[in-house]
Structures are given as structure tokens and as C-alpha cells.
Structure 1
Amino acid sequence: MKHQQSSMYVDLQQYQLHLRRLMPLQNALSPVLFLHGAIENGRIFYSHSGKGLACYLADQGFMGYCADFAGRGLSQPSLSKGFAQNQHQVITRDIPALIEFVYQQHQQPLTVVAHSWGGVLLAASLARYPELISKVRAKVYFGSKRVISVQSLERKIKIDWLWNRLAPWLGAKYGYVPAKKWGFGADNEPTAFLLDTISWINGAPFADLTDGFDYAAASQQTNWPPSWHFAAVNDKVLGHPADVQQFIKETCQHQANYTLLGRQYGHLQDYDHISMLTHPAAGDDHFAKLGHWLATVTS
């Protein structure tokens, strides 16, 4: 590895958000904040052995900060019965605090990279607080969608049955959603957060479920920084290419780059929702192209 890793914490009083910092050994470039999706944590972007997008970019000279949302990963305290967090808190409190923290570390705008649902929360936060955009140089999305419109057997199993029915039942029983224990996620989830995602996934308006703030309308007035959306040909439900494109349209990111990852489009693999960030071939594929693009937009 050409970088060193260490842990930092952002203190928000009720909880502390963990950041895994990846520091290049030399020639540090601009900072990158990584935001994970639902039922996962920051490890989707890095490993201690040097695998993952954050490690790849750190080896190219980019300062990386992989966040764990409240209760997930190494954030404190861990999820337990009674831990309350919803989407509103992440959008209005946690993401702004993370952006501000990384900005203050370097006194320069940062890139934000998001996977899956993390991209929805990022877009909502930036649309709600346009003053944050001056601190964001670029943003990158992997498999981010807000509404799941695709109809298939896989959707019925993963969304209609598991996410919409089993997960809320588990949340009511345990006080949080033990997705890791039950084998359908890399990390657990607060129950209130899960219930919020269900509303949006199933097509509720892009408005805040706590105070009604209209994210769709705000997006129309947002001057987005340079953006790149990635989708994968084998992502059949959780980030279906059609739903990714609809998310781009809904948030008025008309100038954004869009890339569909698959062999038929010149890539090394037919990637899916997870492998687009974890496959060994990614470093010689879209990671390299993204690194070159970031060097251009952040110079």
C-alpha cells in the first residue's frame, strides 16, 4: 500500500461518527469523503489490506475519509434497542457535519463519493443546504437510485418481502434491524431509518418525511458541482440502470456523466451493485478512469 490508515471521530454529542482516514505516503492531493448506503458501512470502500476504491485513490495521492453513519461500523455507540435515527437526521445533521469536518481539515473543497442510498441522502443534503456546495468540488455516485421501479422475482424477494415486510418486523422485535445477523446486509440499520427508506423506495414524493421539505423542487434550483453516476449491467434491482437514470433526472443533474459498467460497453467485467466497488478488476477499469477524472476536476 502507498498510504496509511487511521481512525478519526466526529463528535455530534448523541453519537460519534467514525471516519477511516487514508493518508497517501507522499504527494497528497485533494480530499475525498466516502458515504456508504443502507445495511452497510464504510468498509464498502476500503479494507485494511488495501483493497477498494478509497485505497486505490489513496495510492494515487487522494486523501480519503470513509464515514460510518451513526450506529454503523466503528461509530459509537453501536446500534442497540432504543437507538433512534431517521433520514432527516442524516440529511440535516450528519452529512453536513462530515462535509464541514473534512473541509476544515484541508481548507479546500472536497469530492464526495457515495454508494447506493448514500447518494440519495447526499443529493438531498446538498439540495437542502446549497451553501455546502461551495465546499464540494465534485461528487460521484455508484448505483444510486431513489425509487425502485423494476418489477421482477428478485424485486419481490429482496424488496417486497425482505425489505418491506421482514425488516420492519425485525426492527419492531429487536429495536433495530439486525441485517448482519440475519444475513441480508453487511451492517445493521436503525428502524426509523429503514421505514423512511421504504417510503421513498416505493415511490413517495422526494420530500422530507419529517418536516416536508421538498427536495425535488430544491434540486431544480441547485447548481450541482461536476458529477459522475455509475450503474452496472448486473445490478438488477438495488441500482437498476433505469432507476439510476431516473434519479439523475429527478434531481436535475442533467450535466452529469453517466457510465454503465459491463463488458458490452468496453469494461472488464459485468459488474453488479456490490462488485462495482469490490471486484479485483475494478482498479484497472473504472477506478483508473475515475482517478484521472478527479485529477482533472480537482486540479
Structure 2
Amino acid sequence: MQSSSNLFPVALISAERRGDLSEDVYRLKPGNSPDGTVELAVTRLGLADVAQNRGIPVILLHGSFSNRRFWYSPKGVGLGAYLARQGFDVWIPEMRGHGLSKRNQDYTRNRVADYARYDLPAIGAFVREQSAQIPHWIGHSLGGTTLAAALGGQYLGAPAVASVALFGSQVSRTYWPLKIPPLEWGARLLLKRFGQLSGPRLKRGPEDEPVGVMIESMRWHGLFGRFGEAGRDWWKGLAEVDVPLLVVSAAGDQQDPDWACRKLYEQVGSAPRQYLRLGRQQGFTGDFGHVEMLVSKAAQAEVWPLVEQWLKDPLTPLLGAQADALVVV
């Protein structure tokens, strides 16, 4: 693999103009994890006519059963495209086996622990090298959970992270059947037989998800489970995090409810930090859902400008006079 980086082998596999945007796709082979076949696709978006004047870098992490298209549709619509048009240097990684990232040899055993310990630090290092700036990070759902794991495990953090925003991310929702060991063991054995879960078949998204991620989540929510891995308590580590933090929940989110997102927010020791709930009671036009909080016409009008404001100035409270929608510590 011909390298366009001094860190590890990187190949520029595509360089295209998409309307007013430039789209460069890189394939990274960090070689830093036990599975040496891991390769990660990272798409860089920018304004096509000002390629040499990149703005502030921001890295967008998709959730489960998803890929880069959550942030950037083929028609050039999405938060990623919006931020690029506002002058940001936008980077959109795809996790192992998702989108343009090929399936690694141990694909079925992939875990958030692998993403947090190996992949996110490599992606962050590459973006810092290419942009010569410290990136902001935004994660949705499992992408945000992975960011929390990387922060709590001290795989990412200051001074290599400018800020972190978590949308619809939590690890505290209770699944009572998993508190019964025989049921948890039986569910694990059943999942291992499949190897992967189909997003299209389950109507959860366009991508498959390895059962390793699901089994790991079951362990977190088991009878004596905790958010972490062997020898590393991510939940406890979150209290030591010291980067500007924004946590956003959606009033209509049934998958990752507001109370659970707030609990994650309260565990993180960052200062400053902000909490935002997207709902009618907070002055928004509706109670946003888990996906609609970032992918909808309402989000385009009401949420995307707030994200832009946060990235430009994480120290200033959002929403101005609508202070009841915001908690600032």
C-alpha cells in the first residue's frame, strides 16, 4: 500500500468533486491492533474551490448498523455536508466492516473496546497530521458510546481532542432479562451462532453489525456488568475527562432515552460541559427521535446550526435566551 502518511500505510483510494464539495477517501492500515488485517476508510469533505484553505477539523462517528451516509448522502445532504459548506474540515470514518472499510479477519469478534483502544486513536492521529490542527469529535448512538469508551479508557483526550459532542448515547438503560445469568448466557450462545446481525433485515440500518459488539453490550448490562473491559473501568475513567463536552438527547428517543443520556453526561468530569434536550418543552418544534435528532428537515433547521455554533465556540452556552433547554457546568 502506497502511503500518504508518515504514521502508517495510507492510500488515497478516491478523489472526486461532488457538486460544490470535494470528497477524498483514504484507506488507513494502522497495524496497531492484534488483528493485522484491519483497514479503515475515512472520507474527507471540504469545499471544492478552496481545497488549500481547510478550516477547523471535525470527526463524525456513525452509530450501529450505519456508515458514512448517515452524515453525508449521495445527494450531498447531511450534517457532514452542511459543516463542510460552513468551512469546516470534515472527516467521516467508517468502523471495521462498515461502508468502505472492508471486513477484517476477526470481524465477528469486533468490539467497542477495539474501536476505542486502537481505531479512534489512529484516526485522530491521522487527522491531526493531515490538518495540522486538533480535531473536534462528534458521535451518534454507538459512535458516541465508542467516544465515551475512548475517553474513559484514556485512549483519547486532551490535548489531542478539542471537544466532544455525544448525540443519543448512553450505557445505563436497564435490560432486566440480562440480569438473569442463564438468560444472558443463552442469548450469548445464540448470537455466536449467527456471527453478525443484518441491519436491513432487522430494519435497523443499511449495514450488518458483528455479534462481538452485541455480546460486549450484553456484558455491560449483565448482573455484575460495568462499562469497561478487563483491567480498565471506562465508567470510572469518565470522571477524569477534561475536554469541553456537549451531550444531546432527544425527547422522543425510545432507544437511548433522555434520562440515560443525562446519566452519562453527569458522570463525565469535563468543564465546561453542556446538556441539551431536543423537545417541545425546550422550545423546539417537536420531540425529536433517535435518528431524527440529526437526520431530518427539522434537524437541518434547528439542530445543525447549534452544532456549528458549538464547534466554533464550545465555551459559550447554546440557545441564548432558551436557558431552560440547557444545563451548563
1:212 to 231, 242, 248: 231
Relative contact order: is structure 1 or structure 2 higher (C-alpha 8 Å, sep ≥ 6)? Answer: 1
Unaligned runs of 5+ in 2: 1-18, 31-35, 316-329
Secondary structure, in 3 states, of the residue corresponding to 2:311?
helix
Q: For 1:94 and 1:47, how far apart are their aligned partners in 2?
A: 24
Q: Look up the match of 1:9.
A: 27
Instruction: String of CA shifts for 1:155-185, please: whole Å, max 9, x gaps.
Output: x9xxx9xxx8998577433322223334333
Per-residue deviation at 1:130? 6.1
Secondary structure, in 3 states, of the residue corresponding to 2:76?
coil
Q: Look up the match of 1:229.
A: 247
Q: Look up the match of 2:295.
A: 278
Q: Look up the match of 2:90.
A: 64
Note if contact 1:72-1:188 (Cα within 8 Å) is conserved in structure 2: yes
1:96 to 113, 116, 121: 121
Instruction: String of CA shifts for 1:247-282, please: whole Å, max 9, x gaps.
Output: 112233464211111233122332100011110122
Residues 181-192 of structure 1 mapped to structure 2, 5 A cutoff: 181-192=201-212
Residue type matched to 2:76 in 1?
G
Residue type matched to 1:231 in 2?
S
Establish whether residue 107 from structure 1 lines up as the match of residue 132 from structure 2.
yes
Distance 1:82-1:123 versus aligned 2 partners, 3 A rule? closer
Residue type matched to 1:15 in 2?
V
Secondary structure, in 3 states, of the residue corresponding to 1:103?
helix
Q: Look up the match of 1:123.
A: 148
Count of residue pairs brought into register by the alignment = 283
Secondary structure, in 3 states, of the residue corresponding to 2:98?
coil
Percentage identity across paired residues of the two chains: 25
Per-residue deviation at 1:117? 1.9
Note if contact 1:171-1:178 (Cα within 8 Å) is conserved in structure 2: no
TM-score, length basis structure 1:
0.85
1:19 to 42, 45, 51: 42
Note if contact 1:42-1:66 (Cα within 8 Å) is conserved in structure 2: yes
Q: For 1:4 and 1:268, how far apart are their aligned partners in 2?
A: 33
Computing the radius of gyration from Cα coordinates, the structure with the larger value is 2
Note if contact 2:65-2:208 (Cα within 8 Å) is conserved in structure 1: yes
Note if contact 1:206-1:214 (Cα within 8 Å) is conserved in structure 2: yes
Q: For 1:176 and 1:150, how far apart are their aligned partners in 2?
A: 21
TM-score, length basis structure 2:
0.77
Distance 1:166-1:111 versus aligned 2 partners, 3 A rule? farther
What's the C-alpha RMSD, in Å, of the aligned pairs? 2.7
Per-residue deviation at 1:6? 2.8
